[in-house]
Amino acid sequence: YTGARNDERFPAAQTCYGNLELPNYSNIDVLRARLVHAITCCETFGVA
């Protein structure tokens, strides 16, 4: 998804469809940091 302040957003997953939505990050390092944080620190899910 696109928009302002994408570097502060986390990836979103649609587990029913196997989709991973990634914001348009400014660089690969931000992508890596947000993805690793989401995988290691987020054990639950919610409805957006």
1 within some domain: no
Q: Catalytic one among 2, 5, 15, 16? A: 16
**Span 2-33, pLDDT tens digits:** 666 789 898 888 878 889 899 999 999 999 99
Does residue 26 sit within a domain?
yes
Q: What is the dihedral of CA 26, 4, 20, 41, to 10 degrees?
A: 80
Catalytic residue status for 42: no
| Residue 36 covered by a domain | yes
In a domain, 46, yes or no: no
Query: Is 47 a domain residue?
Result: no
Structural domain harbouring 23: 6-41
48 in any annotated domain:
no
Asked whether residue 11 is domain-assigned, the answer is yes
pLDDT class of 44 with cuts at 50, 70, 90: low
Q: What radius of gyration do the chain's Cα atoms show?
A: 11
Number of domains comprising the chain? 1
